[in-house]
Amino acid sequence: MGRRLLVIASSFPRHGEDLAGHFVGHWCRSLVDRGAEVDVLCWHGPGACSRQVQPGLRVRFIRYAWPGAEHLFFGAGAPENLTEHPLRAWLAVPAVAVMVAAALDACRRRSYDAVIGHWLVPGGLIARWVAEVMKLDSAVVGHSGGVHVLGALPEVIGRAIARRVCRGATSVPTEPLRKRLVALSGSEDIEVAPMGYAPSPMSVEPKLPKPGGSDRLRVGFLGRLVPIKGLETVLRAVERLRQSQRPVTLDVVGTGPRRGRWEAMAGETVHFVGAKYGLEKWHYLHRWDALVVPSKKGAKGRHEGLPVSLLEGASVGAVPLVSGVPGVEKWLARPTRQLIGDGDVDGWCRALGWIDGLDRGESTALRARTMQQVAPLAWPSYARWWQQWIGGRVTSPSSRTS
Protein backbone atom coordinates (compact mmCIF):
# COMPACT_ATOMS: atom_id res chain seq x y z
CA MET A 1 0.00 0.00 0.00
CA GLY A 2 2.75 2.41 0.98
CA ARG A 3 0.29 5.12 2.10
CA ARG A 4 0.60 7.26 5.19
CA LEU A 5 -2.66 7.53 7.09
CA LEU A 6 -3.69 9.75 9.96
CA VAL A 7 -6.50 8.08 11.93
CA ILE A 8 -8.71 9.98 14.39
CA ALA A 9 -10.56 7.64 16.76
CA SER A 10 -12.72 7.90 19.87
CA SER A 11 -11.13 4.84 21.44
CA PHE A 12 -8.06 2.71 20.88
CA PRO A 13 -6.40 0.08 23.09
CA ARG A 14 -4.59 1.91 25.89
CA HIS A 15 -2.32 -1.06 26.49
CA GLY A 16 -1.73 -4.49 25.00
CA GLU A 17 -4.70 -6.19 26.69
CA ASP A 18 -7.21 -3.35 26.57
CA LEU A 19 -10.55 -4.20 24.91
CA ALA A 20 -11.51 -0.55 24.35
CA GLY A 21 -11.42 0.10 20.62
CA HIS A 22 -9.69 -3.22 19.98
CA PHE A 23 -11.44 -3.52 16.60
CA VAL A 24 -9.89 -0.18 15.57
CA GLY A 25 -6.53 -1.51 16.71
CA HIS A 26 -6.89 -4.64 14.56
CA TRP A 27 -8.07 -2.53 11.63
CA CYS A 28 -4.96 -0.35 11.85
CA ARG A 29 -2.56 -3.26 12.38
CA SER A 30 -3.97 -5.11 9.40
CA LEU A 31 -3.38 -2.13 7.12
CA VAL A 32 0.16 -1.70 8.48
CA ASP A 33 0.81 -5.37 7.73
CA ARG A 34 -0.11 -4.57 4.12
CA GLY A 35 2.44 -1.77 3.89
CA ALA A 36 0.70 1.31 5.26
CA GLU A 37 2.09 3.68 7.87
CA VAL A 38 -0.56 4.67 10.39
CA ASP A 39 -0.54 7.37 13.04
CA VAL A 40 -3.52 7.32 15.42
CA LEU A 41 -4.79 10.28 17.40
CA CYS A 42 -7.19 9.25 20.16
CA TRP A 43 -8.71 11.13 23.06
CA HIS A 44 -7.07 10.45 26.39
CA GLY A 45 -8.61 8.20 29.02
CA PRO A 46 -7.66 6.49 32.28
CA GLY A 47 -4.50 4.44 31.83
CA ALA A 48 -3.79 5.69 28.30
CA CYS A 49 -0.17 5.66 27.18
CA SER A 50 1.09 7.06 23.87
CA ARG A 51 3.42 4.58 22.22
CA GLN A 52 4.61 2.81 19.10
CA VAL A 53 2.32 -0.20 18.86
CA GLN A 54 4.45 -1.86 16.22
CA PRO A 55 6.75 -0.66 13.41
CA GLY A 56 4.60 1.60 11.24
CA LEU A 57 1.83 2.09 13.83
CA ARG A 58 1.93 4.80 16.49
CA VAL A 59 -0.81 6.08 18.79
CA ARG A 60 -0.91 9.40 20.63
CA PHE A 61 -3.57 10.06 23.25
CA ILE A 62 -4.71 13.67 23.38
CA ARG A 63 -5.66 15.24 26.71
CA TYR A 64 -8.82 17.35 26.69
CA ALA A 65 -9.54 17.95 30.40
CA TRP A 66 -7.84 17.89 33.78
CA PRO A 67 -6.66 14.50 35.13
CA GLY A 68 -9.55 12.52 36.52
CA ALA A 69 -12.18 14.26 34.36
CA GLU A 70 -11.49 12.54 31.04
CA HIS A 71 -14.43 10.13 31.15
CA LEU A 72 -16.23 10.95 27.91
CA PHE A 73 -15.02 8.20 25.59
CA PHE A 74 -13.70 5.22 27.57
CA GLY A 75 -15.35 3.02 30.19
CA ALA A 76 -18.91 2.13 29.16
CA GLY A 77 -18.52 4.07 25.89
CA ALA A 78 -19.49 7.62 24.90
CA PRO A 79 -23.26 7.00 24.34
CA GLU A 80 -23.63 5.22 27.69
CA ASN A 81 -21.44 7.78 29.46
CA LEU A 82 -23.62 10.62 28.20
CA THR A 83 -26.82 8.78 29.09
CA GLU A 84 -25.64 8.23 32.66
CA HIS A 85 -23.96 11.64 33.01
CA PRO A 86 -25.51 14.18 30.58
CA LEU A 87 -23.33 17.03 31.85
CA ARG A 88 -20.32 15.30 30.35
CA ALA A 89 -21.53 16.60 26.98
CA TRP A 90 -19.74 19.84 27.83
CA LEU A 91 -16.45 17.95 27.58
CA ALA A 92 -17.09 17.61 23.82
CA VAL A 93 -16.17 21.28 23.30
CA PRO A 94 -12.56 21.07 24.55
CA ALA A 95 -12.27 17.52 23.16
CA VAL A 96 -13.04 18.67 19.62
CA ALA A 97 -10.86 21.78 19.92
CA VAL A 98 -7.73 19.96 21.08
CA MET A 99 -8.18 17.16 18.54
CA VAL A 100 -8.51 19.59 15.64
CA ALA A 101 -5.33 21.34 16.80
CA ALA A 102 -3.47 18.04 17.22
CA ALA A 103 -4.55 16.76 13.79
CA LEU A 104 -3.55 19.97 12.02
CA ASP A 105 -0.20 19.95 13.81
CA ALA A 106 0.38 16.31 12.83
CA CYS A 107 -0.36 17.10 9.18
CA ARG A 108 2.08 20.00 9.22
CA ARG A 109 4.82 17.88 10.77
CA ARG A 110 4.36 14.84 8.54
CA SER A 111 3.14 14.22 5.01
CA TYR A 112 -0.03 12.09 4.95
CA ASP A 113 -1.97 10.73 2.01
CA ALA A 114 -5.33 10.61 3.79
CA VAL A 115 -7.10 11.38 7.05
CA ILE A 116 -9.46 8.67 8.34
CA GLY A 117 -12.13 9.25 10.96
CA HIS A 118 -13.42 6.32 13.02
CA TRP A 119 -16.97 7.01 14.23
CA LEU A 120 -19.05 9.56 12.34
CA VAL A 121 -18.86 12.05 15.20
CA PRO A 122 -16.72 13.55 16.39
CA GLY A 123 -13.85 11.73 14.63
CA GLY A 124 -15.40 11.67 11.17
CA LEU A 125 -16.43 15.30 11.24
CA ILE A 126 -12.94 16.36 12.36
CA ALA A 127 -11.28 14.17 9.71
CA ARG A 128 -13.32 15.77 6.91
CA TRP A 129 -12.53 19.30 8.05
CA VAL A 130 -8.82 18.69 8.60
CA ALA A 131 -8.46 16.90 5.26
CA GLU A 132 -10.19 19.78 3.50
CA VAL A 133 -7.92 22.38 5.10
CA MET A 134 -4.79 20.36 4.35
CA LYS A 135 -6.00 19.32 0.87
CA LEU A 136 -5.84 15.58 1.61
CA ASP A 137 -8.06 12.63 0.85
CA SER A 138 -10.39 11.51 3.63
CA ALA A 139 -12.64 8.60 4.56
CA VAL A 140 -14.99 7.96 7.46
CA VAL A 141 -15.45 4.53 9.02
CA GLY A 142 -18.81 4.68 10.74
CA HIS A 143 -20.03 2.59 13.66
CA SER A 144 -23.51 2.24 15.08
CA GLY A 145 -23.06 4.79 17.88
CA GLY A 146 -22.38 7.67 15.50
CA VAL A 147 -25.46 7.00 13.39
CA HIS A 148 -27.69 7.05 16.46
CA VAL A 149 -26.03 10.17 17.89
CA LEU A 150 -26.81 12.04 14.67
CA GLY A 151 -30.37 10.74 14.69
CA ALA A 152 -30.87 11.91 18.27
CA LEU A 153 -29.81 15.51 17.58
CA PRO A 154 -32.36 18.16 16.59
CA GLU A 155 -33.27 17.35 12.99
CA VAL A 156 -31.77 20.46 11.40
CA ILE A 157 -28.45 19.97 13.22
CA GLY A 158 -28.30 16.18 12.72
CA ARG A 159 -28.96 16.43 9.00
CA ALA A 160 -26.43 19.22 8.51
CA ILE A 161 -23.68 17.26 10.26
CA ALA A 162 -24.60 14.04 8.44
CA ARG A 163 -24.37 15.78 5.06
CA ARG A 164 -20.95 17.15 5.98
CA VAL A 165 -19.60 13.85 7.30
CA CYS A 166 -20.87 11.83 4.34
CA ARG A 167 -19.31 14.12 1.75
CA GLY A 168 -16.85 11.47 0.61
CA ALA A 169 -16.05 7.81 1.20
CA THR A 170 -18.14 6.60 4.16
CA SER A 171 -18.88 3.16 5.55
CA VAL A 172 -21.18 1.66 8.19
CA PRO A 173 -21.31 -1.96 9.41
CA THR A 174 -24.86 -3.01 8.42
CA GLU A 175 -27.53 -2.28 5.83
CA PRO A 176 -30.09 -0.95 8.38
CA LEU A 177 -27.50 1.57 9.61
CA ARG A 178 -26.80 2.54 6.01
CA LYS A 179 -30.49 3.24 5.38
CA ARG A 180 -30.70 5.44 8.47
CA LEU A 181 -27.60 7.40 7.47
CA VAL A 182 -28.80 7.78 3.87
CA ALA A 183 -32.06 9.22 5.19
CA LEU A 184 -30.15 11.68 7.37
CA SER A 185 -27.48 12.74 4.88
CA GLY A 186 -29.22 12.41 1.53
CA SER A 187 -26.11 10.63 0.24
CA GLU A 188 -26.47 7.24 -1.45
CA ASP A 189 -22.68 6.80 -1.59
CA ILE A 190 -22.44 5.02 1.76
CA GLU A 191 -21.07 1.51 1.85
CA VAL A 192 -21.78 -1.48 4.07
CA ALA A 193 -18.51 -2.70 5.54
CA PRO A 194 -18.37 -4.34 9.00
CA MET A 195 -15.30 -4.38 11.16
CA GLY A 196 -13.39 -7.64 10.88
CA TYR A 197 -12.10 -9.96 13.56
CA ALA A 198 -8.68 -11.35 14.42
CA PRO A 199 -8.63 -15.15 14.09
CA SER A 200 -8.05 -17.25 17.17
CA PRO A 201 -4.37 -17.86 17.97
CA MET A 202 -5.42 -21.38 19.02
CA SER A 203 -6.22 -24.17 16.59
CA VAL A 204 -9.91 -24.89 16.25
CA GLU A 205 -10.24 -28.39 17.65
CA PRO A 206 -13.30 -30.53 16.85
CA LYS A 207 -15.83 -30.33 19.66
CA LEU A 208 -17.58 -33.47 20.78
CA PRO A 209 -21.24 -32.68 20.20
CA LYS A 210 -23.70 -33.94 22.77
CA PRO A 211 -25.74 -37.02 21.80
CA GLY A 212 -29.32 -35.78 22.12
CA GLY A 213 -28.57 -33.21 24.83
CA SER A 214 -27.31 -35.63 27.47
CA ASP A 215 -24.62 -33.22 28.72
CA ARG A 216 -24.97 -29.69 29.98
CA LEU A 217 -25.09 -27.00 27.31
CA ARG A 218 -22.14 -24.58 27.52
CA VAL A 219 -22.87 -21.02 26.40
CA GLY A 220 -21.18 -17.69 26.93
CA PHE A 221 -21.51 -13.92 26.74
CA LEU A 222 -18.59 -11.67 25.76
CA GLY A 223 -18.82 -7.89 25.99
CA ARG A 224 -19.30 -4.79 28.09
CA LEU A 225 -21.86 -5.08 30.86
CA VAL A 226 -23.97 -2.07 29.88
CA PRO A 227 -27.75 -1.73 29.44
CA ILE A 228 -27.86 -2.09 25.64
CA LYS A 229 -26.39 -5.60 25.95
CA GLY A 230 -29.65 -6.84 27.46
CA LEU A 231 -28.10 -9.67 29.47
CA GLU A 232 -30.99 -9.78 31.96
CA THR A 233 -33.20 -11.55 29.38
CA VAL A 234 -30.77 -14.44 28.98
CA LEU A 235 -30.28 -14.69 32.74
CA ARG A 236 -34.04 -15.23 33.13
CA ALA A 237 -34.07 -17.82 30.33
CA VAL A 238 -31.13 -19.75 31.80
CA GLU A 239 -32.79 -19.83 35.23
CA ARG A 240 -36.07 -21.00 33.73
CA LEU A 241 -34.29 -23.86 31.95
CA ARG A 242 -32.50 -24.81 35.16
CA GLN A 243 -35.78 -25.01 37.04
CA SER A 244 -37.20 -27.21 34.29
CA GLN A 245 -34.29 -29.65 34.72
CA ARG A 246 -32.51 -28.54 31.52
CA PRO A 247 -29.52 -26.76 33.06
CA VAL A 248 -27.38 -24.46 30.96
CA THR A 249 -23.94 -23.23 32.03
CA LEU A 250 -23.48 -19.54 31.16
CA ASP A 251 -20.08 -17.82 31.40
CA VAL A 252 -20.25 -14.02 31.43
CA VAL A 253 -16.94 -12.59 30.20
CA GLY A 254 -16.67 -8.83 30.58
CA THR A 255 -17.11 -6.00 33.00
CA GLY A 256 -19.09 -2.79 33.26
CA PRO A 257 -21.52 -0.78 35.36
CA ARG A 258 -24.30 -3.39 35.22
CA ARG A 259 -22.22 -6.24 36.60
CA GLY A 260 -23.44 -5.94 40.19
CA ARG A 261 -27.11 -5.79 39.25
CA TRP A 262 -26.92 -8.69 36.80
CA GLU A 263 -24.77 -10.83 39.05
CA ALA A 264 -27.32 -10.43 41.84
CA MET A 265 -30.12 -11.82 39.64
CA ALA A 266 -28.07 -14.71 38.20
CA GLY A 267 -28.78 -18.33 39.06
CA GLU A 268 -26.29 -20.94 40.24
CA THR A 269 -25.27 -22.06 36.73
CA VAL A 270 -24.16 -18.54 35.72
CA HIS A 271 -20.54 -17.52 36.29
CA PHE A 272 -19.34 -13.91 36.06
CA VAL A 273 -15.61 -14.20 35.39
CA GLY A 274 -14.69 -10.58 34.60
CA ALA A 275 -12.80 -9.27 31.60
CA LYS A 276 -10.50 -11.74 29.89
CA TYR A 277 -7.75 -10.98 27.39
CA GLY A 278 -5.62 -12.79 24.85
CA LEU A 279 -5.46 -16.56 25.18
CA GLU A 280 -7.71 -16.53 28.24
CA LYS A 281 -10.51 -14.97 26.23
CA TRP A 282 -10.07 -17.47 23.42
CA HIS A 283 -10.09 -20.41 25.85
CA TYR A 284 -13.62 -19.38 26.82
CA LEU A 285 -14.76 -18.89 23.21
CA HIS A 286 -13.46 -22.32 22.24
CA ARG A 287 -15.33 -24.10 25.04
CA TRP A 288 -18.78 -22.68 24.26
CA ASP A 289 -21.47 -24.39 22.19
CA ALA A 290 -23.23 -21.06 21.65
CA LEU A 291 -22.54 -17.36 22.10
CA VAL A 292 -25.45 -15.26 23.40
CA VAL A 293 -25.83 -11.72 22.02
CA PRO A 294 -29.03 -10.51 23.75
CA SER A 295 -28.80 -6.87 22.70
CA LYS A 296 -31.87 -4.69 22.85
CA LYS A 297 -32.93 -1.55 21.06
CA GLY A 298 -32.71 1.62 23.07
CA ALA A 299 -34.39 5.00 22.98
CA LYS A 300 -35.19 6.36 19.50
CA GLY A 301 -34.33 3.02 17.89
CA ARG A 302 -30.70 2.93 18.91
CA HIS A 303 -29.17 -0.50 18.35
CA GLU A 304 -25.80 -2.15 18.00
CA GLY A 305 -23.97 -2.64 14.74
CA LEU A 306 -22.20 -5.95 14.16
CA PRO A 307 -20.42 -6.88 17.43
CA VAL A 308 -16.90 -8.16 16.86
CA SER A 309 -17.47 -10.62 19.72
CA LEU A 310 -20.17 -12.27 17.59
CA LEU A 311 -17.67 -12.78 14.77
CA GLU A 312 -14.98 -14.06 17.11
CA GLY A 313 -17.29 -16.63 18.66
CA ALA A 314 -18.65 -17.75 15.30
CA SER A 315 -15.13 -18.11 13.93
CA VAL A 316 -14.45 -20.98 16.35
CA GLY A 317 -17.88 -22.58 16.08
CA ALA A 318 -19.72 -21.01 19.02
CA VAL A 319 -23.13 -20.59 17.37
CA PRO A 320 -24.41 -17.00 17.85
CA LEU A 321 -27.91 -16.55 19.26
CA VAL A 322 -28.87 -12.93 18.68
CA SER A 323 -31.47 -10.29 19.45
CA GLY A 324 -31.61 -6.57 18.80
CA VAL A 325 -28.95 -6.41 16.04
CA PRO A 326 -30.68 -5.57 12.73
CA GLY A 327 -28.78 -6.61 9.62
CA VAL A 328 -26.92 -9.50 11.24
CA GLU A 329 -28.80 -12.17 9.26
CA LYS A 330 -26.24 -12.56 6.49
CA TRP A 331 -23.57 -13.66 8.98
CA LEU A 332 -25.66 -16.42 10.59
CA ALA A 333 -25.89 -20.05 9.47
CA ARG A 334 -29.57 -20.49 10.43
CA PRO A 335 -31.03 -17.01 10.94
CA THR A 336 -34.60 -18.24 11.46
CA ARG A 337 -33.43 -20.25 14.48
CA GLN A 338 -30.69 -17.91 15.72
CA LEU A 339 -32.64 -14.64 15.84
CA ILE A 340 -34.75 -13.93 18.94
CA GLY A 341 -37.03 -11.00 19.69
CA ASP A 342 -35.88 -8.28 22.08
CA GLY A 343 -36.64 -9.27 25.66
CA ASP A 344 -38.32 -12.55 24.60
CA VAL A 345 -37.49 -14.96 27.44
CA ASP A 346 -39.58 -17.75 25.86
CA GLY A 347 -37.73 -17.24 22.58
CA TRP A 348 -34.38 -17.53 24.33
CA CYS A 349 -35.51 -20.74 26.02
CA ARG A 350 -36.50 -22.18 22.64
CA ALA A 351 -33.23 -21.14 20.99
CA LEU A 352 -31.08 -22.59 23.77
CA GLY A 353 -33.19 -25.75 23.74
CA TRP A 354 -32.69 -26.07 19.99
CA ILE A 355 -28.89 -25.96 20.35
CA ASP A 356 -29.05 -28.40 23.25
CA GLY A 357 -31.15 -30.89 21.30
CA LEU A 358 -28.98 -31.16 18.19
CA ASP A 359 -27.53 -34.59 17.48
CA ARG A 360 -23.86 -35.08 16.58
CA GLY A 361 -24.28 -34.69 12.84
CA GLU A 362 -26.51 -31.62 13.11
CA SER A 363 -24.20 -29.95 15.61
CA THR A 364 -21.10 -30.60 13.52
CA ALA A 365 -22.73 -29.27 10.35
CA LEU A 366 -24.06 -26.15 12.10
CA ARG A 367 -20.68 -25.41 13.63
CA ALA A 368 -18.92 -25.76 10.25
CA ARG A 369 -21.46 -23.52 8.54
CA THR A 370 -21.13 -20.95 11.34
CA MET A 371 -17.36 -20.70 10.87
CA GLN A 372 -17.71 -20.54 7.08
CA GLN A 373 -20.28 -17.75 7.25
CA VAL A 374 -17.98 -15.23 8.96
CA ALA A 375 -14.71 -16.30 7.32
CA PRO A 376 -14.72 -13.41 4.76
CA LEU A 377 -14.35 -10.90 7.61
CA ALA A 378 -11.17 -12.36 9.10
CA TRP A 379 -8.09 -10.18 9.36
CA PRO A 380 -5.62 -9.99 7.74
CA SER A 381 -7.24 -11.12 4.45
CA TYR A 382 -10.16 -8.70 4.91
CA ALA A 383 -7.64 -5.83 5.08
CA ARG A 384 -7.09 -6.14 1.33
CA TRP A 385 -10.59 -4.85 0.71
CA TRP A 386 -10.10 -1.89 3.10
CA GLN A 387 -6.76 -1.16 1.46
CA GLN A 388 -8.44 -0.85 -1.92
CA TRP A 389 -11.36 1.19 -0.56
CA ILE A 390 -9.12 3.73 1.14
CA GLY A 391 -7.06 3.95 -2.02
CA GLY A 392 -10.18 4.82 -4.02
CA ARG A 393 -9.99 1.77 -6.27
CA VAL A 394 -13.17 0.09 -5.07
CA THR A 395 -16.51 1.53 -6.18
CA SER A 396 -18.76 -1.00 -4.43
CA PRO A 397 -17.29 -2.11 -1.11
CA SER A 398 -20.58 -3.75 -0.11
CA SER A 399 -19.95 -6.44 -2.74
CA ARG A 400 -16.97 -7.58 -0.67
CA THR A 401 -19.21 -8.42 2.27
CA SER A 402 -22.10 -10.00 0.42
Q: What CATH number does the domain containing 22 carry?
A: 3.40.50.2000
Asked if residue 369 and residue 249 are part of one domain, the reply reads yes
126's CB contacts (< 8 A; 6+ apart) are 8, 96, 99, 100, 103, 117
Which range of residues forms the domain containing residue 324? 217-376
- The domain tally of the chain equals 2
Q: Is the peptide bond before 380 cis (omega within 30 degrees of 0)?
A: yes
Residue 401 has pLDDT above 50, yes or no: no
Residue 32 included in any domain: yes
Residue 203 included in any domain: no
Average pLDDT, integer, range 311-320: 97
Query: What is the b/e burial string over 196-222, where b = at least 16 CB atoms within 10 angstroms of the residue's CB?
Result: bbbbbeeeeeebebbeeeeeebbbbbb
More confident residue, 19 or 81: 19
Asked if residue 188 and residue 259 are part of one domain, the reply reads no
Concatenating the DSSP letter of every residue in 338-392 gives: HB--TT-HHHHHHHHHHHHH--HHHHHHHHHHHHHHHGGGBTTTTHHHHHHHHTT
Asked if residue 370 and residue 223 are part of one domain, the reply reads yes
Give the pLDDT confidence score for residue 315 in this predicted structure.
98
* pLDDT (tens digit per residue) in 167-226: 999 999 999 999 999 999 999 889 999 999 999 999 877 665 554 444 689 999 999 998
CB 333 within 8 A of CB 201: no
Asked if residue 283 and residue 179 are part of one domain, the reply reads no
Average pLDDT, integer, range 136-153: 91
Asked if residue 65 and residue 13 are part of one domain, the reply reads yes
Residue 207 included in any domain: no
Percentage of the chain beyond pLDDT 70 is 90
Asked if residue 361 and residue 344 are part of one domain, the reply reads yes
289's CB contacts (< 8 A; 6+ apart) are 207, 210, 217, 218, 219, 318, 319, 355, 356, 363
Give the pLDDT confidence score for residue 117 in this predicted structure.
97
User: What is the sign of the dihedral through the CA atoms of 139, 145, 149 and 152?
Assistant: positive
> In what helix (H) or strand (E) does residue 176 lie, and over which residues does it extend?
helix 175-185
Asked if residue 158 and residue 222 are part of one domain, the reply reads no
Give the pLDDT confidence score for residue 211 in this predicted structure.
43
Residue 308 included in any domain: yes
Asked if residue 388 and residue 369 are part of one domain, the reply reads no
The whole-chain average pLDDT of the chain stands at 90
Give the pLDDT confidence score for residue 213 in this predicted structure.
45
Q: Is the peptide bond before 86 cis (omega within 30 degrees of 0)?
A: no
Q: What's the Cα-to-Cα distance from 185 to each of 79, 178, 201, 253, 355, rounded to whole Å?
A: 21, 10, 41, 37, 42
Give the pLDDT confidence score for residue 65 in this predicted structure.
85
CA distance 339 to 105: 47
Give the pLDDT confidence score for residue 135 in this predicted structure.
96
Asked if residue 192 and residue 70 are part of one domain, the reply reads yes
Residue 89 included in any domain: yes
CA distance 394 to 121: 24
What does the chain come to in residues? 402
* pLDDT (tens digit per residue) in 327-357: 999 999 999 999 999 999 999 999 999 999 9
Average pLDDT, integer, range 247-267: 94
Q: What is the pTM of this model?
A: 0.89
Average pLDDT, integer, range 50-56: 96
Give the pLDDT confidence score for residue 162 in this predicted structure.
97
Asked if residue 180 and residue 283 are part of one domain, the reply reads no
Asked if residue 160 and residue 25 are part of one domain, the reply reads yes
- Confidence label for 76 from pLDDT (cuts 50, 70 and 90): low
Asked if residue 176 and residue 73 are part of one domain, the reply reads yes
Give the pLDDT confidence score for residue 396 in this predicted structure.
39
Average pLDDT, integer, range 274-289: 94
Q: What's the Cα-to-Cα distance from 373 to each of 143, 144, 236, 332, 378, rounded to whole Å?
A: 21, 22, 29, 6, 11
Residue 210 included in any domain: no
Q: What's the Cα-to-Cα distance from 158 to each of 8, 127, 167, 169, 400, rounded to whole Å?
A: 21, 17, 14, 19, 30
Give the pLDDT confidence score for residue 75 in this predicted structure.
62
CA distance 343 to 294: 8
Average pLDDT, integer, range 285-298: 94
CA distance 302 to 324: 10
Lowest-pLDDT range of 39-48, 124-133, 140-149, 384-393: 384-393
Residue 204 included in any domain: no
Residue 246 included in any domain: yes
